[in-house]
Amino acid sequence: MSEYTIGHLIQRKHSELLEDFNPLFTGHLNEDWTLFFMKDTSFDTRIPLSVYDISNTVPVLHFDHEEDHGWSYDILSDGISKAHFDYNYELEEMSLYQMALEQYPEEDPVELLYTNPNFEGVRSQLLTELHQNPAYQEQLDNLFKNCHVEQFGLFEVSPAQIEQLKQIMTQEHVDQLDFMHDLVDQFKQILNLQKMSWISPDRLEDDEFDVEL
């Protein structure tokens, strides 16, 4: 089973401000962050309207991670999103699948790309074409267009930490990683969010739910 994590975070020193908003759950992630869920927090309703309301009082960091599919964050303040990042691990495979449909309409794209030895080399050929495609490269570049890591200053994240985030939140950095999932681990380490793992409203009764009440 792959990781499923979702939650909203504020600075721990502002925890008492949540009491007026009737959250489903409030707990301390660590000395820096307080985690909370609203009643309708889910992957279907990633950021409920009530969280935007809370951000009019105190900045909110939304974070979610589906290990097999990708991860994202939003920084909310003054009722709006000040920064957004959404990393889809499946972007390359989805793009390859679409290319296979377009270039080989008579073939089964799953057989073409993955299973039929008669098509050996086709996947490699399409992958090369994809990586040379300006439209695909633009998609990659746009992944980081709105990440605006400077907005972490709203949570009193230090200039040194923000500089570290600027170094990793680029396509150039991702390209030199051995494993694409390393990026989220680096992100969490810089921000002291390592405990944002296997956390969701569905796990509140789990004995392993490791958040201080």
Q: Which pLDDT value is given to residue 96?
A: 87
Question: What is the mean predicted confidence (pLDDT) over 73-91?
Answer: 96
Q: Which pLDDT value is given to residue 213?
A: 60
Query: What pLDDT band is residue 115 in, cutting at 50, 70 and 90?
Result: confident
Over the stretch 23-58, which tens digit does the pLDDT of each residue have?
999 999 999 999 999 998 887 888 999 999 999 999
Over the stretch 118-152, which tens digit does the pLDDT of each residue have?
777 888 888 899 889 998 888 888 899 999 999 99
Q: Given a cut of 70, is residue 2 above it in pLDDT?
A: yes
Q: Which pLDDT value is given to residue 127?
A: 87
Q: Which pLDDT value is given to residue 66?
A: 92
- Burial (0-12, 13-18, 19+ Cβ within 10 Å), 90: exposed
Q: Pick the residue with more confidence: 206 or 95?
A: 95
Write phi, then psi, for 159 (nearest 5 degrees).
Answer: -55, -35
Q: Which pLDDT value is given to residue 97?
A: 87
Q: Which pLDDT value is given to residue 208?
A: 60
Q: Pick the residue with more confidence: 206 or 159?
A: 159
Q: Which pLDDT value is given to residue 209?
A: 66
Over the stretch 153-194, which tens digit does the pLDDT of each residue have?
999 999 999 999 999 999 999 989 998 899 999 999 999 999
Question: What is the mean predicted confidence (pLDDT) over 53-71?
Answer: 95
Q: Given a cut of 60, is residue 1 above it in pLDDT?
A: no
Token pair belonging to 158: 């230090």
